[in-house]
Amino acid sequence: MVDDLPLNQRYVDFRVRISYIGKRKEEYKIDQIKTGKFIAERRKLMHLTQVQLAEKLSITDRAVSKWETGKSMPDCTIIPELCDILQISINDLFNGEVVVMENYKEKSEKLLLEMATQKEEADKKMLSMEILVGVFSTIILLSFILMASLAAMQIWLRICLIVGGFILFVIGIFFALKIEQTAGYYQCQKCNHQYVPTFKSVFFAPHINRTRYMRCPKCGKKSWNKKVLNKE
Ligand SMILES: [Zn+2]
């Protein structure tokens, strides 16, 4: 199945840079296709379907399918649990095969930590972007309304300005919400499970700032879930 993928998707790779304190930098290239095939192989070996594996990790089976076709890598916070289930080391996962290597544990832990740090930094940037998008959309809306009510113009132009302002505002808020959904995690108050919710559940959840009242996919209970950037 993987071989049927278009060429440009077959060579997606995943890079992680590790800098040893004050020393050299080492770059790891992870072949996502190979890792994906390996995940599928190990999953079948464990007699699990994509749905069953997804359930164990409380994620969607679409995510599992994306890993297995090499379209994405598992989130760094899911990797330890995934490796446990597949009975492989983190290093095996990154290599796309079972490997025997010295100091592999130390190396994989560094890799994982580095992945988490990179993700956290990227998420932080995205969340500041969310504020920017939100503020910008509000300013646009207000200035369009102000212009429509104060400047001398024909009535149809006033209506166009107000409607246009609202459309831009809605688009802006949609983007801001999309960022909030995907950057970092929400933490369940009941069981402390951290997860990325669906856009729909974020959209409909009552919220105070970034804390949202949502149902946890792991324990199924509703609580005020805080936004967290790093997973423990
Ligand atoms: Zn929970």
Q: What is the pLDDT of residues 184-213, one digit of tens each?
A: 999 999 999 888 898 999 999 999 989 999
Q: According to the model, what pLDDT value does residue 13 have?
A: 46
Identify the domain boundary among 68, 101, 134.
101
- Which residue(s) pair with 118 in the sheet? none
Q: Distance between CA 56 and CA 210 in Å, rounded?
A: 27
CA of 214 to the centre of ligand 1 (A): 10
Instruction: Please name the amino acid found at residue 191.
Output: C
* Whether residue 141 sits in one domain with residue 88: no
Dihedral of the alpha carbons of 219, 225, 228, 230, in degrees to the nearest 10: -10
Mean pLDDT, the chain, whole residue set: 84
Q: Distance between CA 168 and CA 145 in Å, rounded?
A: 12
DSSP character string of 9-32: HHT-EEEEEEE-TTS-EEEEEEEH
CA of 188 to the centre of ligand 1 (A): 5
* Whether residue 140 sits in one domain with residue 54: no
Confidence of residue 215 (pLDDT cuts 50, 70, 90): very high
Residue 161 lies in a domain: yes
Q: What is the pLDDT of residues 42-66, one digit of tens each?
A: 999 999 999 999 999 988 889 999 9
CA of 232 to the centre of ligand 1 (A): 15
* Whether residue 153 sits in one domain with residue 182: yes
Residues with CB under 5 A from ligand 1 (ion): 188, 190-191, 193, 216, 218-219
Global confidence as pTM: 0.68
Q: Total structural domains in the chain?
A: 2
Q: Of 197, 195, 191, 196, give the one whose Cα is nearest residue 223.
A: 191
Report the share of the chain in percent with pLDDT over 90: 54
* Whether residue 80 sits in one domain with residue 156: no
Residue 32 lies in a domain: yes
Residue 226, helix vs strand vs coil: strand
* Whether residue 96 sits in one domain with residue 126: no
Range of the domain at 216: 122-228
CA of 209 to the centre of ligand 1 (A): 20
Q: In terms of pLDDT, which residue wins out, 176 or 115?
A: 176
* Whether residue 222 sits in one domain with residue 129: yes
Instruction: Please name the amino acid found at residue 230.
Output: N
CA of 187 to the centre of ligand 1 (A): 8
CA of 231 to the centre of ligand 1 (A): 15
Dihedral of the alpha carbons of 44, 68, 98, 53, in degrees to the nearest 10: -50
Q: According to the model, what pLDDT value does residue 27 have?
A: 61
